[in-house]
Structure 1
């Protein structure tokens, strides 16, 4: 993969992660279990799980964003470091968004054909949480399309180089 393409991808990832981290942090800094319950009375343990999964996603994205910042701001661009970072972004940030470990929401793959948002919640989620995911989904989807190479090809390349 050409160095300029990798550099462009790391810059795109940097931009998407910055925007999405800011949005998640703003939500998390102003949202509690009580505010979610006030908004829509629902399953307390489910709401706790939603916030916990969102915090995990935010941490992954913050860490990846900081790594992107270092790579983007380095005087000499390191293609191997950028590729490792893009691989990690795909497998931690993107996959955690579309298929979280706690399985509290999921991606409805059929929605790609209908033009609707693909994230579906297992139980009723408060509207503020749903709105947050509407804001996050499109940038993550575009980034996923850019980084699909790192799903398998990069891992294969690394295994062959050992």
Structure 2
């Protein structure tokens, strides 16, 4: 891919991450464990895990945003660094959104056929948590489609270099 295309994708991902960080920060700043329990009584330990996983996702997105800012401002523009950054964002942000390592929620692969939201929680969660994920999911889907190329391309390059 040409430098212009990669640079445009870095800018697009940077904007996406900026909006995502803002949404996640807003939710976390307004949410407490006690508030979630008050909103919908449920498994306190599960709610703690949900909040912890959202915090991790926020950190990954903040790091990705910072990396995009650095890559976008570097002169001359480094296509290799940009591609590596986009791969890492795909792996750490997008994959963590759809399938977190903590396994607190998961992606329902059938959602594409049913038209329903892809994120399914292992236990019931308050409406505010569901609303957060509904608000984020569409853009995460779009960015995942944009960045899938880097995920496969980067892995192929790594295998060929061995």
With normalisation by structure 1, the TM-score equals 0.96
Q: Deviations 1:92-112 (Å, cap 9, x if unpaired)?
A: 000000001111111011111
* Aligned counterparts of 1:41 and 1:121: Cα–Cα separation in 2: 15
Counterpart position of 2:19: 19
Residue 73 of structure 1, CA deviation: 2.1
Q: Which runs of 4+ in 1 moved over 4 A?
A: none
SS of the residue aligned with 2:41? coil
Counterpart position of 1:144: 144
In the alignment of these two chains, the number of paired residues is: 162
Gaps of 5+ in 1: none
Residue correspondence of structure 1 range 28-47 to structure 2 within 5 A: 28-47=28-47
Residue 115 of structure 1, CA deviation: 2.0
* Aligned counterparts of 1:144 and 1:120: Cα–Cα separation in 2: 18
Gaps of 5+ in 2: none
Counterpart position of 2:90: 90
* Aligned counterparts of 1:110 and 1:118: Cα–Cα separation in 2: 8
Residue correspondence of structure 1 range 38-77 to structure 2 within 5 A: 38-77=38-77
With normalisation by structure 2, the TM-score equals 0.96
* Aligned counterparts of 2:76 and 2:19: Cα–Cα separation in 1: 25
